[in-house]
Structure formats: structure tokens, C-alpha cells
Amino acid sequence: MEQSEAVSFFYFKHLQNIHEEKTHLSADCPFCKKKGREYAGRLVVYLNKASFFYGYFRCLNRCVPSGFSLWFARLMGISPEDVPGYDPDRESFLHKIDYPIVNINNEINLYQDRMSEEILAWFQKAGVGQDVLVELKIGYNGRYLVYPYVQEDGNCYAARCVFPERKEDFFWHGDEQFFTDQHHIFNLQDIQRCENGALFICQGEENLLALKQLGFPGVAVPDCHSLEMVDPDRLAFVHTVFIVMENSAEAEAAARALAARIGYKARLFRWPAGLARNYNLWQLANEKGKDFKAAVLAMIQASSAFSPFASPKREYGTFVAQLALESGSAYGALRSGFSKFDQALDGVHGINVIGGAPKAGKSCFAIQIATDMARRKVPVLYYDFENGRQKIYQRTLSRLSRMTVGAIKNDVATGAIGQQLERARHDFQDMLVSFRVVNDRKLNSEIMRRHIDFIRHETRSEYTVVVIDSLHKLPFKDFTEQRTGIDAWLRQLEAIRDELHVSFLIISELSRGSKDGYTDTPHMGMFKGSGDIEYSADNALILFPEWDPLNSAAQQQRQNKLWLVASREHTPGLVGRYGLDYPYWGFVELDE
């Protein structure tokens, strides 16, 4: 038997004189005569399977507080094991506190007796009748409304006294021990009554009263700041929690913070745009009158679950927006500048790991790609743990000016060469707006995120390229083993790639192959301490020298083959051949 059918059968079994409707049933209330009522009222049970309040019962005479099936069983003296959905292994929330002997119950009764016609009329403007005020023991001391904060033991030790229509004018009365935020839950007992059901949490007692008049269960906190002290464990056995705050940024932030602690079962009420600050349910009840219930039901249906997932509508919108971005010029600008490289990989996207033997020119290759992209106004962050900022700048200016680093240092260029150097200097200076070198040895993922946010803001770009030289020299502060540290960094880089539209160009060392050299056929296992590289890299490349880096071959004979050894989207194989543009610290893509 399904849970919903079992709950329906449970009520049919224990009620008499039942009249069944499409979405609810009514029966003689079994509690009215026990409460001394001359005539039994009708008890209504909501059985709409699509409702959050399936199985909720209430007596129209309000002879007992309303609730769900486990509360009904407790009132009827039925064993909880006979109630559908009862978990015998559940552990009830225990608030460890020694309640004092003295309480203010008698005072609360006296304040109830002082309720004036004027105050009753004030409540009636929002549709709140005297039966609700009696049920929640609301009183009046001649000037202030008295809201009793009854505790779990059924006694009241403190009450909040609020001036009508001026909620900022209030004070606490009673035992000071109960003036603190941890005790600030009004109508606390409804939490227990709503086990396996739904419950409202409201900001302000008057807002809860408006809901109680409609028959809904709920509790209230005096203000949004009190939400911070609501222990989610109290709500462990409530299936759905509606959080209804006033219309303000502070209240919404507090509601979202509580929802994050409660989890998936929290649902937030949202106010339409254009309403006044601090607009609330009490005002809505005053304005809507008889239409107030319909307005609340509409808000229940429109309430959004506090989900870790985006809504389907937002997810689709994000997907379409990303498609539009990827067809735009900013995405198209993510090119390396090497035609064969861009043809093989469709540009620089995702996480690209480039391995190579020592002195094969990995850094030189990465610097050239990074600075050429920056010259095209693509924001680039270059995390350097190999060469130093000054050396990167010198080599870049050498390549741009077609002058050796030594000639640039001596500053002896004249004539056409001098003009060429001057143009290169201006080009280099303009490039620095989009190109930042970082040598921070205390780098971590959060610092990297801040760097990315900064350069995106400065360049007004949706995309960023991050170069890491090299993977094996990233700081591993919290890890004693390099491989563990590399894997942890790769996890962070994956998240940054997905969240911030970042493309990575990461230099990696290679392990020595046979005969302690680097002449083996390129393959994925050549990456040093490969760890998660094979799982994290969108493209894994190896810059493979056609010369022995450990030999003093003529500079002009230094040529490399770039191999794509693994890729998520592209076919592995030879990308192209690259010759060293000696002595200008660059590479030239060669024809086959």
C-alpha cells in the first residue's frame, strides 16, 4: 500500500460519520466532547496527494491544535507504531535545559482576559478571529499585545510584549533566562505536531496569526536575526518547511541562510517586485480580505525549494547563453596563434597539459602563446615558478622586436632597428593590460580565483586564460606528497574551469623513459607523477624534441614535434612541427 493510501486508510479507520470529498474528508471530531463541547464539531482531513499538507487535520471548532497523523494518534491514544510513516528508530530532538519551577502561566491567563473590543477589532482587520487568539493564548496588558513563548514543557516563562501597529516598540517580560534568541520560537509545539508533514516559519507573530486563521500550522520568530539560532535538528522530522520573511534584503538573506542549514526540504516564499520594504503577510491579509487564502495558496505553489540545482528554466537559459558566448568573438579569440595547433584543438579551451623533456622549450612555447593571446586583448594570468618575471618580459620583448636580449639590454639599437624596438616596446606595454605574471609561492585556489575575478573585471572579458609553469612546482602547502598535491590542484582547476570560463595551459614534466632518456614514443604515461592528469586534462600534449636536449646541437637545428596524446573531443596524433626561432625566444610552425 502506498504511503498516501495508508494515511487515508488510517483516518478512515479511526473517524466516524465520514463525508468524503475530492481533496478532503470531514468527520465528527473525536476531541470536542473530551474538551467539554456540547456538540461535536467537524474535523477536516486534507487528502490531496498533490498538496504539501496531505494528512493534515484540524477541528473547525479549534478544540485541539491541528497537526498530522502522528499528532492525531497521540491525541487519540493510538500507538505510534500503527501510524503510517512512523520511524521507531528516530531520535527525538532534546533541548537540554533545566526549566525553572516558577512560570508566568497565570499572568498569561490574566492578559487573555484583558483583551479589549478595540484590540479584537484591530485583529479582525486582517481577518484574525478571537478563536485563533485564544488558541495561541494571545493577551493584552492594556497597552501592549502579549505573545507567550510557551516552551517544550508546556509552560511559559517569557512573553514578548509588542505595541500594536508599531512593532519596533516591544519588550520582553518574565524570566530573563528566556529572553535570548535560542528561546525565540513562538508556538513551538507546532513543530512536534507537524512530524512527517509541512510547517511554516514566519517573521513576526502577527504574520503567523494570519496563517493560523486560514488553518495552516506554523511557528514564528520575532525578527529575521532570530533565524540564526533556529536549530535545524528541531525540524528533522518535518518533511517541508516554508520560510516566510518580510520583504527586505536582510530578511531574504537570513531566510536563505536558514534554508541552507535545513537543506532540500526548505521552500522560500518570494515577494513580487515593486512591493514596499518590509511588506508582510499581515499587510497582505489586510489588503486581500477574503482573497487572502487564494493569495497564500498561490504563493505556496510558487515557492521555490532551496535546491543545490538550478531550476530547469534557468539551466536552459544558461545553456543557451553559453552557446551564444561560444559563437561570439571573445570565444573565437581563444586561439594560440599557431594554425596547426588551433586546427587540431579548435583553439585554447579547457585544461591543456603540455609535457616535454628538460630544455625542450616548454616555457618558451607557453610564453609565446600566452603573450600573443594577450596582444589580442585576451586576459592571461601567467603563474611562473620557473623563469622569473624579468626573464619572461625580456624574452617576450626579444621576440617582438627581433632583437637579442643582450642587444636590448645594451640599448644600442639605432635607425630602423631602433624604431622596430620602440614599436615593440609600445606593443609590449599595451599587452601588459591583459597579461599578468604571478610568482607567488603561497598561491592557493582561492587566491587564484581572486586574480581571475580581478583581471576579468579589469578587461571586461567573459573568458580568461591561465598558464601554469609548471604543475610540479605549484605550492603544496597541505600535502606532504607531490602527487597528492598535484591531484588536489587538478580538482580545483577543474572547478575554476567550469565556474569561471577559464582555459588552462599547464606545463608538466615528463618521466624518463627507457635508457634514462626521453626518446620513447609519446604516450599518456610519460607525464611525471601523472596522477589525475589523464582524467582532468581535456587535452594532453607532449612537445617532443627531434634533438637531444642534453647535447649541444646547433641552435638552428632544434626542432620539436607536438603530439596530442589524449583528448576528450579531438583525435590524438601529430599536431605539428615547431622550430626554435633562435635567438629570439620563439617558435615557428613548420610545414611538413
Q: How many angstroms separate the CA atoms of 415 and 102, rounded?
A: 99
Q: 232 versus 357: which is more confidently predicted? A: 232
Domain 3-82 sits in CATH at 3.90.580.10
Secondary structure in 3-state letters for 139-166: EECCCCEEEEEECCCCCEEEEEEEECCE
Side-chain-facing half-sphere of 413: CA atoms under 13 Å = 21
Q: Per residue in 177-214, pLDDT tens?
A: 999 988 999 999 999 999 999 999 999 999 999 999 99
Same fold, 123-305 and 329-590: no
Q: How many angstroms separate the CA atoms of 224 and 241, rounded?
A: 16
Q: What is the pLDDT of residue 526?
A: 82
Domain 329-590 class in CATH: alpha beta
123-305: which CATH topology? Dna Topoisomerase Vi A Subunit; Chain: A, domain 2 (3.40.1360)
* pLDDT > 60? residue 92: yes
Q: Are strands 464-469 and 573-580 parallel, antiparallel or unpaired?
A: unpaired
Contact criterion met (CB below 8 Å) for 223 and 247? no
Q: How many angstroms separate the CA atoms of 530 and 206, rounded?
A: 63
The average pLDDT across 13-38 equals 90
**Banded model confidence at residue 428, pLDDT cuts 50, 70, 90:** very high
510 DSSP 8-state letter? B
The helix (H) or strand (E) run that includes residue 382 is strand 380-384
Q: Are strands 145-150 and 139-140 parallel, antiparallel or unpaired?
A: antiparallel
176: left (phi over 0), alpha (psi -120 to 50) or beta: alpha
The dihedral of CA 181, 187, 193, 197: what is its sign? negative
Nearest to 149 by CA among 118, 120, 177: 177
Q: How many angstroms separate the CA atoms of 557 and 110, rounded?
A: 102
What percent of the chain is predicted at pLDDT more than 90?
A: 70
The dihedral of CA 338, 342, 345, 348: what is its sign? positive
Residues near 41 by Cβ (< 8 Å), separated by ≥ 6?
Answer: 29, 32, 59, 60, 61, 63
Q: What is the pLDDT of residue 358?
A: 82
**Banded model confidence at residue 104, pLDDT cuts 50, 70, 90:** very high
Q: How many angstroms separate the CA atoms of 575 and 564, rounded?
A: 6
Q: 50 versus 94: which is more confidently predicted? A: 50
Nearest to 527 by CA among 507, 551, 546: 507
Nearest to 204 by CA among 240, 259, 167, 242: 167
Ranges of each domain in the chain = 3-82, 123-305, 329-590
Q: How many angstroms separate the CA atoms of 539 and 572, rounded?
A: 9
Instruction: Tell me how far apart the 2 most distant CA atoms of the chain are, in Å.
Output: 114
* pLDDT > 80? residue 513: no
Across 465-474, 484-493, 567-576, least confident range? 484-493
**Which amino acid does the sequence have at 545?**
P
- Residue entry with cell 537543506: 263
**Banded model confidence at residue 548, pLDDT cuts 50, 70, 90:** low
Q: How many angstroms separate the CA atoms of 499 and 483, rounded?
A: 25
Q: Per residue in 390-417, pLDDT tens?
A: 999 999 999 999 999 988 888 766 778 8
Q: Per residue in 354-396, pLDDT tens?
A: 998 888 889 999 999 999 999 999 999 999 998 999 999 999 9
Q: What is the pLDDT of residue 529?
A: 65
Q: How many angstroms separate the CA atoms of 186 and 194, rounded?
A: 15
Instruction: Report, in this order, helix, strand and coil percent for the chain, each rounded to 5.
Output: 40, 20, 40
568 DSSP 8-state letter? S
